[in-house]
Structure 1
Amino acid sequence: MGMIKHKIESTEAFIKLTEKKGGIYITEKDDIEFHVMCSISIKIEHFKDLTLSNITFEDDFILQGGRIENCVQIAKCTFKKRFIFGVVCEKGFWARGVVFNSYTSFVNGVFKESFHLTGVSNFGPLIFTQGKYDSFGIFESNLSHYLDFSKAEIEYINIKNVTFEKALSFTDVHIKAGAREAMRILKDQAHKYNDKIAAVDFYQKEMIALESELCSSKGKYSELFVIFMNRISNNHGLSWLRAICFTLLSGFIFFTLFLLCLDEPYYSFEWKGIEQFIEVHSMTFRYFIEFINPAHKISYMDNFSPSGWSFIFDLLGRISIGYGVYQALTSFRKYGFK
């Protein structure tokens, strides 16, 4: 026996198919293929469930208003015209094997716990603007039209095996964290369409995710050290101010250790009056300015008999200061990195 095509001609008839009180619930049946011929436009206050499977919507599907208590599940459905979904999902939203043929909007939606699209295709704009997502994921999907994340708030994002054929818009998007692969994909997409500001932001988050991965891995201490130093020295190449602070602070630390190891120091820890206090600090400042030049003479404080430890701290200071200068120069090129 072949499939029976069940046509639904009105919103009222669509609602009558509800199998659970307080929501819309249509599951896949072996012998029935639902075709919704009319526009579905529902403004809700509170639904318990929304489960749709094996349905073709020939006209608009619009659901706006209140909240849905349980996880929304949409599987093997085709939306041939507009799909507009702007509600609060208390337990998340899952779509599998869904085809969006036209304009698709989740504008102003709130998706707690999860928002996952798996095996999805879109042939019209896919809009996530001004939505709030606790966990946003797209998997195993071919997205043929552009995506817009403008002003969306995403706590965590994950993307795997997804093909983006057109541009993604990230204007004023806030993504708190995400999987490293997701950040790499978004960074590459931003580069592809010359959105350097978004690419820089995703690069930073990619490095943060990489550091988190290395922290949970054994035996990768050298890689973790490199990532850690890049973060504290210039925020992965993104902050010249942090690089300057790192250079001055590390220089001050090693300069202090250098002074403490002098055999015949010019200073004393005893109070000998304000004039000597000012004189000693003036000398210290002049010596410090010379010390933070990584090419300063090794004998520039020979009059005070540097010990062997002084020379060790002098060498470490040169390395640290030189590294900080390099990181500062790198940071000024942040919008030109590849």
Structure 2
Amino acid sequence: MDIKIPLNIDLQNVNLLITFSNLKFQGKQIHFYKIKKECLHRFQFEKCTFESDIFIESDFEDITFISNTFNCNKFHIQKSTIGVLEFFNDEYNNQTVTSNIFKKGNLKIADCDFDTVFWLKNVEFIKNTSVDINNNKFLEGCYFDSISLDQIIFYDCNFSKEFRYDASYNRSQFRECSFSGLTTFSDLQNVNSSFLWFENCHFYKFTNFNNYWLHKLRIEETTFSDNVSFQQTYFDIVCFIRIIFEKKVWFDDIQIKKIDDCDKITIRTIKQELQKAENRIDFNRFRAYELAAHYKELDWKWNSGFIDKSILFVTKISTDFGNSWRRALVFTLISGFSIYLLLYIFENRDYQIAILNCDNWARLFSGFFRFLLVTDFYNPLEADRVYLTNPFSWLIFIFGKIVIAFGIYEMIQSFRKFKA
């Protein structure tokens, strides 16, 4: 059956379950409304096609959408008090299971109170569709299960009880929302382009992001009053701006692929919480990330960041900011030998050295191993315990000792990174 004319349906005197099945709504728009609030209604739409713009403005005991197709520009539910609102597929008929599909347009839910359950399950929003959920109160559970979204925006919403968000999407934004119950974000599939953004929100109870895979996470001006868990999460990019964690935060085994694109404040926030949790393994990893981010911010201007940049540059090439003792060992041997070779050439500038003479090679390498002894200040090129006599040789010698001592210190620090 096709309904092709614009309709204004007055629900004033209706107080029963109404089922719309296998209908096609056509025309400009259909408006469900009620002036008074004495009666509640129960609506069920099953396997219908909506080509008209739909506006629902009434009070309901429950509204259920099962396996419908939405091909309209606007589907708005607003200024209503609703007990249960559900979107789900016909899961009792496994042979012809069909999700609710929004092929185009905008789903808007605004200025509503949901007294019992708000549940979207197996709903598919095709590309270029959008969902706006603003100025709503969810007094009981609010669930998004196995949802495919292109873009969704939550603004000024209050989630009083459990909130579960199991959805794949391109962009989800929560602005000025409060979460008063358990909050869970899970099972995201579209890692390549997904963006989850919280702005000026407040989480009052435990918040769970465990095992969450996401392209970009941005949280700003947000307070977490209870524990938060980011254990075994994977992100390409993370951005934290002025976040307040009032209780414990777990970042165990968090992975950030494009850590070089993260700012220093974000990395420092994660590092500080890892330190509070006494997670030394991940703490040292993010300590190195923080130094790398700080090094990236500095410049080589003499009157600004030259000294700090120089120190961090040496730390970077020697141990990659404390991440590799092997790199420190190689740095110590190569840099030490290079300086020692310069000293060897300068001290033997008046002599002709026979390259094929094995004694010269033995003298060269035995002197180098002696040169590696930081506390040995005698001439490494002489068998006797005598000092260097040339001032320039002393400059090379002292500089070499400093470089070797630095390399050994960095290597020891890399060994000790798991110590208390």
Pick the TM interval, shorter chain: 0.7 to 0.9
Q: 1:283 maps to what in 2? A: 363
5+ residue gaps, structure 1: none
* Structure 2: runs of 5 or more not aligned: 1-36, 38-56, 77-101
- Identify which of 250, 272, 281 aligns with 1:188: 272
CA distance in 1, matches of 2:169, 2:351: 70
3-state SS, counterpart of residue 115 of structure 1: strand
Query: In structure 1, what is the equivalent of residue 199 of structure 2?
Result: 118
* 1:10 is the counterpart of 2:41: no
- Hey, what's the Cα distance between the residues in 2 that align with 1:296 and 1:122? 61
Q: Which has the higher contact order (CA 8 A, sep 6+)?
A: 1
CA deviation map 1:255-296 (0-9, x unaligned):
222223222557434xx4xxx45x443332211111111233
In 2: Cα distance, 1:42 partner to 1:8 partner = 20
* Structure 1 contact 8–37 (Cα < 8 Å) conserved: no
**Structure 2 letter corresponding to 1:187:** K
Match of residue 129, structure 1, among 197, 204, 210? 210
Instruction: Give CA-to-partner distance per residue, 1:295-334, whole Å, 9 cap, x none.
Output: 333433258x997654433222111011112222333332
Q: 1:329 aligns with which of 409, 412, 415?
A: 412
Counterparts of 1:105 and 1:193 in 2: how far apart (Å)?
A: 21
* 1:68-147 equivalences in 2 (<5 Å): 68-69=149-150, 71-90=151-170, 92-109=171-188, 110=190, 112=193, 114-147=195-228
Query: Relative to structure 1, is the Cα distance of residues 288 and 202 closer, same or farther in structure 2, using a 3 angstrom cutoff?
Result: same
Conserved? CA contact 1:40–1:59, under 8 Å: no
Contact 2:251 2:270 in 1 (8 A): no
Shift of residue 80 of structure 1? 2.2
2:113 to 28, 34, 40: 34
Shift of residue 215 of structure 1?
3.8
Letter in structure 2 aligned against 1:89: Y
Match of 2:248 among 159, 162, 167: 167
The one-letter code sitting in structure 1 at the alignment partner of 2:342 is L
Asked if residue 201 in structure 1 is aligned to residue 285 in structure 2, the reply is yes
Equivalent position of 1:263 in the other structure = 349
**Conserved in 2, the CA contact under 8 Å of 1:73 and 1:95?**
yes
1:154–1:174 CA contact under 8 A, matched in 2 = yes
Structure 1 residues 92-131: Cα deviation after superposition (integer angstroms, max 9, x where no partner): 2211111112222221224625321111111222122222
Larger proportion of helix: 1
TM-score of the pair, normalised by structure 1: 0.83
Question: 1:313 maps to what in 2?
Answer: 396
Kept in 2, the 8 Å contact 1:120–1:140? The answer is: yes
Aligned residues: 322
Greater Rg, structure 1 or structure 2?
Answer: 2
Structure 2 contact 300–309 (Cα < 8 Å) conserved: no
Compared CA separation, residues 150 and 187, structure 1 to 2 (3 A): same
Q: Percent identity?
A: 20
Name the SS of the counterpart of 1:332 in structure 2. Answer: helix
Give the TM-score normalised by structure 2.
0.68
Is the partner of 2:376 in helix, strand or coil?
coil
Q: What's 2:326 paired with? A: 241
1:334 aligned counterpart, secondary structure:
helix
Asked if the contact 1:34–1:54 (Cα under 8 Å) also holds between the matched residues in 2, the reply is no
Per the TM alignment, residue 40 of structure 1 is displaced from its structure 2 partner at its CA by 1.0
Give the superposition deviation at 1:73.
Answer: 0.8
Against the structure 1 CA distance between its residues 216 and 12, is the aligned structure 2 distance closer, same or farther, given a 3 Å change threshold?
A: farther
AA in 2 matched with 1:143: F
